[in-house]
Structure 1
């Protein structure tokens, strides 16, 4: 079969090279703008291909006049040349190399198509973009791009509206389509292969209108690594009918479904490659294809709230294009096409949102897929999908036979309708493109702000550099002040001034009006993010605060509600509304953003201040043979002040340290003598990252963080733990990031039916080499639980987060700790304020006392000195006392009826108040039967807690918060000679929480000295 297929490809290429494409034109003038959909009868069709389109489409109403035929063009092969069958054929999912092979074959066959490489994935697989347009447009791509660049940056034409009108009238918009960012949503590549062909060869007036007026740019596969894995698994399924086969546990190297949440942090190469392509081509729209909903949901027209930083022009464009899609496809007789729905467009983290935040139009379709397969199967839908609503007047049918071809028909029809709308309304849309860009520049002096300032004296310059690098990846211009300057900045609000931000349940807001701004000095070298630039909106959206009202009609936020990057990076950024800031002398920054580092002075001991910059952890592993000590208290030396936890380094050459610190942007100070302070060793711990075989979605961000900071680790599974009775021989610290539920961690998957291997084999060559097993089903098991417990008891450290903290609590790996779970919906992907409980704990060395931490649900802990949990008083300081219900006011004593008044001889000694993050003191009664009293050195140690309720909210949704405020969120729970460090939050979330990474890194570096600074309870 391979030989015949190769011969067929060679013949197709030969025909393409030796014979010019046969172009069939309609006779006489044609009104392209008003062309009706359907084939041009004078153009031949591929009869066999057309027949199979109808054969594989399960109902005639799942076709449209745009895709119910396949035009033929001499010398230009259809997708069948590579696939062996038509696009959307049963049991055929092509690998990325097949998709690319066809796209390049098409480009070699016609001047109307061109393939460009746009980068690679983390595993080195190529990503491509395919441009399709008329010969005339393709010959002038660069000229067209130059014109588009003037509309994208109106400063280049001095904001001249007349000139913009002239360009808008003659330029061709670029419409960028992306497919299969979600690997199990597998239909887009074949639909886009066929769409590219149709756009290149179909001579119907409807398609000609698109081709002659729009440059269609296609990335057929965004998540290439995951695509090839899904095809591996599906092909294995086809070859082994009747056997259960695994789902794609890994898509990309790090991230699965949340790869479509990276458009803020820009951590993944696929996101960076798409954004770079969008910006460099000056695209007008980005249209991302997904599969989940019957039959086509134009979900850009989602429910509210809309992102607050977008130009209203783009939200109106969503409506114009989306409802036109619904109207046209309904007119074609295709059921189940709708818009609106419940998806909100608040978060700018989705891939398609790259366009909306860069002055384009974001677009997204959800079509009906069959779960990563090419099967034709009977599908039954529930009432929520099939009942009519005001926005779904032609809903899907309750039961249908659904095929990949049906899905491809809907995808292509919807795209062609959108492209036709753009072709017919290109002048207006390009004028809007210019207008949005112009208004983004003008916003510095209209709605504001004028700029954001990131001071040169920020205590965490490394984190500041990382934030600025995000801005650079977003194509935001960064400036730097060339001299010191003064700016009018907002007065920093106190806790009293911010009261009431927490929504329902919060304290009343102060109605007085204090001074709103003050003059503040900033040193030379301070960074300024000007808002008078084309991409100011994405900068504003990431640097500003978010507020999601508890009273908002949308009660089910689709994703995170708060993300303020300066807060989550623990960096200072000042929002300035006074436009005079734009007159400050400054220069555009084009070079490295790494802070200046290196060694100052001479000596045998070197001190580096601990400011929780992540590069400190990198340095420890880079200089593995050096002697690092951690200062257990703050000190001064060499004219410098050093925080608790600062590094004291010896046994390293000055040159080696100088080179390393310059590369990392760290400042080291040589000291002539070792400071006389208490220290302990900082050792390069042996680290393992533990994963399950049920979910790796969230822990992948942890691996990415470690890889980025060059912290070595072994990647082990729960099955490995269950088989290894001596983990301490290999590891000092095991990181167990969020994954499945506690019970699933232990049980794994049901053991009935056949084993499910995840291994690199000739049948599945694209599965992950870095994680393999003969059978995914077994979990940790009780043997593994015992092994983990023994690892900790012998001196190891187990660090857990969210669901894995629940696992540690439920399976006996902690003493005196219980979960405190707030009610559902109280927070949803929110930044909350934290406070340090015990500043002597090595876990919080260098951490600011008001760190904003990300939490998806507000989970926290109660602690107790008694075995079994418990904790401090309920509530979070939102009012009222701690006395029992009874007579009088909150400050009065109760009076019990029917007995004498309480005389002094009957009164118990007054107890010290117990805060929500504390455990209650041991009583005399408890000491008389001490069996359940946890020994003082084994009691849980609250390290970090949530802030008071009145200033708990940083960004996003907080509905109340009384049962979250002041609760412990990071707890160090000793167990034997080791520790279980419990996080109620996720400190390593989507590359967006740089500021809390060092809570993890401190645990690693101080793994064998976590008891440092601890004062034991004498009782």
Structure 2
């Protein structure tokens, strides 16, 4: 549907009005802001950015600004479509060309124009996904003005031969948070630093780690634009890095490369990087680094996930300033020290080092503006090459899926957690993956599947992404010259079915099945079965959604019992329960069974869930943010507690469970130091906080520690347990972001509803030795597998943790401390271990008055 502005333009033309020249009356960013973008000590808040983009939209027929939706905290998420005025008037035609290029199997007639000949490369530029990397939003304002107002040959070539989708920030909330904090910080020792909150409500820096999981609203909005609406040719993600290395990194990337990517992606990245580097050199810009630090292995970033969708996606990383405050660096302050960049001397990938001096926000804007125009100029000059490659990659992916195993992946509906299975399929579908539903029972690889099973055919244009999500990663062992493991960029393994605990079968032989394509994935809805007029209901207590039902029941005062033998839950089918079920059951996947009698008259205990607190340090923690997101997703209420609220004591009067996310012990105890932030945010828990936590547990509270915070609890509570990885060198044991197998040990309320074996995410995590012959022995709920430990990624020295404890609880009086050696809620991805965290919020009480479990 055309926008109202497009309709107005058509009306004006039909009425005989002459549109003004594009450059006339286009406001400059400097006139709008009152300073030039990149000026020292100036950042633009998000409303000023949005207002400027809309002003340019009104003034120029080359620009059309769209609001894609709202950010997490309700700010507009905008994109500017920029091209020639003729193209802007006919955007649906060019969208259709992109669709046909990216999905060549779509029906075409002999009269249909050749999309390669008629289309224009669609280039997406995304800015400031990391909001303390402040320059690119300002660069976007200047780029928009240049393209909307200039008529020089270089600008005309870009407008006539490309379509730009310019996203001034992929995290609008963060732009505001950082701009306002920077104003507060100016003139203080912490100027340009010390932000006491995440610059995204949940993810902070991990906004750029969500591109296959789609937990965040911002990710979902851009994903819709990329894979459902525009199917672009090229994506440029603009970033900043530390201050003391190169002035700018441009592609190509460092080894290793992901084997699922088409060779055209890698070669096109070389081409783009070389063009950027050449344009930067021509402009006299020094300190440009290539082929270092950033590899092309992992999936989940705003440049890496699009590459699996046949989009040539790149990033640049500029040296940072202190938000908008300039810095001065002597030559001796500059260093290398990372993969492919060992020192600050001239090399083949670092030909012209920057000599030092003042480095300003405007310098970053200049470098990034050169790169943005460079990529647009290249796309215009090699229009047909890029568009031909887009079509060829899609055809090649489909052909491989037709001729090479696996030919498909099948996701049965009958799962331990059917809601999570449907969520996995929904995520893939939202990422552009074709999903089919079996309309009849069928067989594949000799296995029988019921009607309703989801089929994910490999023969589709986005096969690279599907394969990369479903298969197990085997990261190549890489070491430095000194024998130390070479650190991958981000993670080594991410296999989605393993993380989510979903049964999926790869089909290695050709098969046939009656099926239908799905336009949308309907999440499995809760159902009732069994007695038509039950006296009791039973809940399997295996699905994550079951916690939504249980919490609603407990909040309504319904007595819920757990069977100690089976782990199943039961509750009376009375009016109170019915009121809850009629409201909640349609929104979840839980399956209820009605019974004429109490299904657990014996061996049962009452389930209790007290008030939950989540500790939030002022030295902000992304893991804490993800913890909040997961709790909110499953409607688990909590209260956020800061240092002062814990140091004040009396915690047991306010909460029953306190969760401390994966936070380093030093940060927990000390927090920000004097001069690093505003005085009211200085400090950590300190001795008073540690004493308050001990008093809380001794009064009957539950302290849940995730990953790194376990070391803090071990010390402060003098727990008889040893983190066997503490102080171990990486040459002996190394596991960078991988998936490992864990096994259930004995019976524990912490492992209710989980299978005997499950997958856990392990990222420089912990493993425990738990002595048995001590006064307060810990109860082990999970151990790392004794053999076949690694499931996806890279693991050096598995024998160091094989058989060691992964989940332990210690009873201290009526209270307890729970230690998770791994992060069960990591980035909102491992749905298969969410249940373990949720279980820790509940106590099981014997109705006869026995102490809680």
| Shared fold, TM over 0.5 | yes
2:473 equivalent in structure 1: 546
Matched, 1:710 2:650: no
- Over residues 831-890 of structure 1, what are the superposed CA-to-partner deviations in whole Å (9 max), with x where a residue is unaligned? 00001112x2011111112111001124211112xxxxxxxxxxxxxxxxxxxxxxxxxx
2:760 equivalent in structure 1: 853
- 1:156 Cα deviation (Å)? 0.8
Q: TM-score scaled by structure 1?
A: 0.77
Q: Write the distance in 1 (CA, Å) between the matches of 2:676 and 2:450.
A: 67
Q: Write the distance in 1 (CA, Å) between the matches of 2:194 and 2:618.
A: 10
SS at the partner of 2:295? coil
- 1:715 Cα deviation (Å)? 0.7
SS at the partner of 1:851? strand
Matched, 1:681 2:681: no
- 1:316 Cα deviation (Å)? 1.3
1:61 equivalent in structure 2: none
Matched, 1:252 2:200: yes
- 1:21 Cα deviation (Å)? 4.4
Query: Which ranges of structure 1 fall in alignment gaps of 5 or more residues?
Result: 1-17, 24-72, 489-518, 635-643, 758-774, 865-918, 923-932
1:269 equivalent in structure 2: 217
2:686 equivalent in structure 1: 781
1:382 equivalent in structure 2: 334
Q: Write the distance in 1 (CA, Å) between the matches of 2:643 and 2:221.
A: 34
Greater Cα shift, 699-708 or 281-290? 281-290
1:802 equivalent in structure 2: 707
Matched, 1:690 2:639: no
2:524 equivalent in structure 1: 594
Q: Which of 296, 311, 315 is matched with 1:345 structurally?
A: 296
Q: Write the distance in 2 (CA, Å) between the matches of 1:731 and 1:809.
A: 22
1:416 equivalent in structure 2: 373
Matched, 1:948 2:786: yes
Asked whether the equivalents of residues 845 and 852 of structure 2 are also in contact (C-alpha less than 8 Å), the reply is no
Q: TM-score scaled by structure 2?
A: 0.91
- 1:378 Cα deviation (Å)? 4.7
Q: Write the distance in 1 (CA, Å) between the matches of 2:479 and 2:390.
A: 31
Asked whether the equivalents of residues 703 and 816 of structure 2 are also in contact (C-alpha less than 8 Å), the reply is yes
1:308 equivalent in structure 2: 259
Asked whether the equivalents of residues 462 and 594 of structure 1 are also in contact (C-alpha less than 8 Å), the reply is yes
2:10 equivalent in structure 1: none
- 1:386 Cα deviation (Å)? 2.6
Q: Write the distance in 2 (CA, Å) between the matches of 1:953 and 1:358.
A: 28
SS at the partner of 2:370? helix
Asked whether the equivalents of residues 631 and 637 of structure 2 are also in contact (C-alpha less than 8 Å), the reply is yes
1:829 equivalent in structure 2: 737
- 1:540 Cα deviation (Å)? 1.5
Aligned residues: 815
Greater Cα shift, 175-184 or 302-311? 302-311
Matches within 5 A, 1:260-409: 260-279=208-227, 280-292=229-241, 297-375=248-326, 377-378=328-329, 381-384=333-336, 386-397=344-355, 399-409=356-366
Q: Write the distance in 1 (CA, Å) between the matches of 2:718 and 2:524.
A: 41
SS at the partner of 2:809? strand
Q: Write the distance in 2 (CA, Å) between the matches of 1:265 and 1:537.
A: 16
1:116 equivalent in structure 2: 66
Change in CA separation of 1:374 and 1:138 when aligned onto 2, cut-off 3 Å: farther
- Over residues 439-497 of structure 1, what are the superposed CA-to-partner deviations in whole Å (9 max), with x where a residue is unaligned? 22222223342111011222221221221221122122221111111111xxxxxxxxx
Matched, 1:629 2:554: no
1:453 equivalent in structure 2: 410
- Over residues 926-961 of structure 1, what are the superposed CA-to-partner deviations in whole Å (9 max), with x where a residue is unaligned? xxxxxxx40xxx321111000013x10100001121
2:448 equivalent in structure 1: 521
2:584 equivalent in structure 1: 660
- 1:659 Cα deviation (Å)? 4.8
Asked whether the equivalents of residues 410 and 455 of structure 2 are also in contact (C-alpha less than 8 Å), the reply is yes
Asked whether the equivalents of residues 942 and 968 of structure 1 are also in contact (C-alpha less than 8 Å), the reply is yes
Query: Which ranges of structure 2 fall in alignment gaps of 5 or more residues?
Result: 1-16, 337-342
Q: Write the distance in 2 (CA, Å) between the matches of 1:244 and 1:783.
A: 30
1:671 equivalent in structure 2: 595
- 1:1013 Cα deviation (Å)? 12
1:223 equivalent in structure 2: 171
Asked whether the equivalents of residues 819 and 860 of structure 1 are also in contact (C-alpha less than 8 Å), the reply is yes
1:232 equivalent in structure 2: 180
- 1:402 Cα deviation (Å)? 1.4
Greater Cα shift, 241-250 or 940-949? 241-250
SS at the partner of 2:380? helix
1:982 equivalent in structure 2: 819
Asked whether the equivalents of residues 599 and 658 of structure 1 are also in contact (C-alpha less than 8 Å), the reply is no
2:12 equivalent in structure 1: none
- 1:365 Cα deviation (Å)? 0.8
Asked whether the equivalents of residues 632 and 1013 of structure 1 are also in contact (C-alpha less than 8 Å), the reply is no
Q: CA RMSD in A?
A: 2.6
- 1:243 Cα deviation (Å)? 7.2
Greater Cα shift, 809-818 or 139-148? 809-818
Structure of greater Rg = 1
SS at the partner of 2:25? coil
SS at the partner of 2:741? strand
Asked whether the equivalents of residues 94 and 120 of structure 2 are also in contact (C-alpha less than 8 Å), the reply is yes
Asked whether the equivalents of residues 116 and 384 of structure 2 are also in contact (C-alpha less than 8 Å), the reply is yes
2:136 equivalent in structure 1: 188
Change in CA separation of 1:819 and 1:795 when aligned onto 2, cut-off 3 Å: farther
1:617 equivalent in structure 2: 547
Change in CA separation of 1:379 and 1:435 when aligned onto 2, cut-off 3 Å: farther
SS at the partner of 1:560? coil
- 1:298 Cα deviation (Å)? 4.4
Q: Write the distance in 1 (CA, Å) between the matches of 2:62 and 2:418.
A: 49
